[in-house]
Amino acid sequence: MAKLKVGVFGAARGRTMINLLYDNPDAQLVAVCDKYKPLLDSCAEEAKNKGIKLGLYESFDDFIQHDMDAVVLANYAHEHAPYAIRLLDSGRHVMSEVLTVATLDEGVRLVEAVERSGKVYAYAENYCYFNTTAEMRHRYRRGDVGELVHAEGEYIHDCSSIWPQITYGERNHWRNRMSSTFYCTHSLGPIIFATGLRPVSVTGFESPNLPFMRNLGYVGGTHGIELVQLENGATVKSIHGGLKREPGSINYQMYCTKGSMETDRWEGGKLHVYIEGERNCVGEHTAYRPEFVIEGAEGSGHGGSDFFTMHYFIRKILGDPVGEENSIDVYTALDMCVPGILAFRSIKNGGEPQQVPDFRDPAEREKYRGDTFCSFREIAGDMYASPSPDDNEDVPDSVYEEVRRKWLAGEPG
C-alpha cells in the first residue's frame, strides 16, 4: 500500500510534525508551506540531506494545489478553521493544531465541512496524550474512580521571556490580540477527553493586563478562568495564562464518586490515585509514573505527547479502530474550544453564564451561524470585542519595534 502523502502548513510549530513524518512507516512528508522563507530554506536543506523530494511554498494557494492526501495545520492559532474548510472541501484529511475555531460561526461551518466531505478531521490537543492524562482517561473509562464530580485543569506558562520569538513584533499577531480565555484547550481538553462528558454552560473570569506583558505588546487579561458545568452536573475549573511560576504548571485533578486522580504539581510524569474502600474516607493512595502506551513516543515534543496526535490521525485515516478511538474528532474538539470563546463573552457581559451549544445537533448549532464574536478584528467585523479588560489598546509602535529588534537579535523578552 502506498504511503499517505502529507503536507504541513506552518513550519515553526509544524517542525515536530515534519520530524515525525520523516520516518513514519505509513505516511510521507511531501510539502511544506510557510510565509517565512528562512524556515522553508531549513526544510529544503534537511530534505536534501535525507534524499526527500519536497514541495516548498510561501503561498497557501499554491500549496493546496500540491498532490496531498492530508494536511497538518500548524499556522496561526486563530486562522485554522478557514484553511481546514478549504482543505476538507478539496478532499483532504485535516489535522488542526490548537485552536479549532475563533468564533461560533466558524464552528458551524467547520462541522458542516467535515460532515459533507466525509474526510477525517483530527484535533491535535497534545496535552490529552501525556503519559499521565492518557492514563487518567484509561482509568476513568474503566470505572476505577467512579463518575466525575469536579475537575481542575491548569496550564500556567509565562511566555514573556520568549515573546519576541513567538510574536516577531507584530502588533496584530494573534498572541497579542487573543482574549484571556481563548487558549483554553490545554487546561480543559484533557478533562473533556478523559470523561467524554460534554460542557453545557460556562462562566468566565480574568485578571488585569499586567505591565510585564503590556510592555511586550499584549493587551488582554494576564490569565483566564473558565468555570464549566458538564452534562452530568460535574464542575470544572480551567485556568491558563502567564502567571509567575517557574517551572510552569501543567496539572490536572479529577474528583469522582469512588476516588480521585491528579498529576503531580512538581514531578512531571507522575500520577496520584486514591480509591476509597467500603468505609467513608478510608482508601488506598498510590503514586506512580505511567508508561507510554507506545514505546518510543518519549522522544517527541511536549513530553512525548506530540507523537500521538500524528500517530492516531494517520491510523484513523487508514481505518484502524485504534485511531478512531483515540483521535479527537471535530465535535469533541469544539467541546474543548468553544467554552473559551463563550467565557470571553461571559466576561464582557459582567460574568453572566453562557450556554454551550452541542455542535452535533444541526438545529442547535444553526442558532450560531453568523456569530463572529471574538477579539480578532479581521474575523469579528461588527461583533468585535476588545481583548483588553479595560478596553485600553493604546500600545505605542515603539513597543512592537523593540520586540521585533529583540526577535531579530535573538534576545529574550
Alpha-carbon distance of 366 to 386, in angstroms, equals 26
Task: Note the pLDDT of residue 72.
Answer: 98
**pLDDT category of residue 294 using cuts at 50, 70 and 90:** confident
Examine the pLDDT at 108 and tell me if it is beyond 90: yes
Alpha-carbon distance of 219 to 210, in angstroms, equals 9
Q: Tell me what the pLDDT averaged over the chain comes to.
A: 96
Task: Note the pLDDT of residue 296.
Answer: 65
Question: Tens of pLDDT along 240-252?
Answer: 999 999 999 999 9
- Burial pattern 309-318, b for ≥16 Cβ within 10 A else e, equals bbbbbbbbbe
Examine the pLDDT at 347 and tell me if it is beyond 80: yes
Task: Note the pLDDT of residue 90.
Answer: 98
**pLDDT category of residue 164 using cuts at 50, 70 and 90:** very high
Rounded to the nearest 10 degrees, how much is the dihedral formed by the CA atoms of 131, 306, 85, 184? Answer: 60
For residues 128-139, give the mean pLDDT.
Answer: 97
User: Does residue 57 contact residue 66 with C-beta atoms inside 8 Å?
Assistant: yes
Examine the pLDDT at 377 and tell me if it is beyond 70: yes
pTM for this model (two decimals): 0.96
In the structure grid, which three cell numbers stand for residue 183, read together?
487558549
For residues 188-200, give the mean pLDDT.
Answer: 98
Which of 142-151, 285-294, 320-329 is predicted with the least confidence, judged by mean pLDDT? 285-294
Task: Note the pLDDT of residue 54.
Answer: 96
Task: Note the pLDDT of residue 120.
Answer: 98
In the structure grid, which three cell numbers stand for residue 76, read together?
496561526
In the structure grid, which three cell numbers stand for residue 9, read together?
502548513
Q: Which residues contact 174 (CB under 8 A, 6 or more apart)?
A: 76, 77, 78, 79, 376
In 296-404 the beta strands, taken as DSSP E runs, fall at 354-355
Examine the pLDDT at 298 and tell me if it is beyond 80: no
Task: Note the pLDDT of residue 295.
Answer: 66
Question: Tens of pLDDT along 113-129?
Answer: 999 999 999 999 999 99
Examine the pLDDT at 23 and tell me if it is beyond 90: no
Could you tell me the CA-to-CA distances from 307 to 41, 130, 156, 299, 390 in Å, in that order?
Answer: 24, 10, 22, 8, 41
Alpha-carbon distance of 251 to 269, in angstroms, equals 10
**pLDDT category of residue 299 using cuts at 50, 70 and 90:** low
**pLDDT category of residue 340 using cuts at 50, 70 and 90:** very high
Examine the pLDDT at 301 and tell me if it is beyond 90: no
Question: Tens of pLDDT along 72-84?
Answer: 999 999 999 999 9
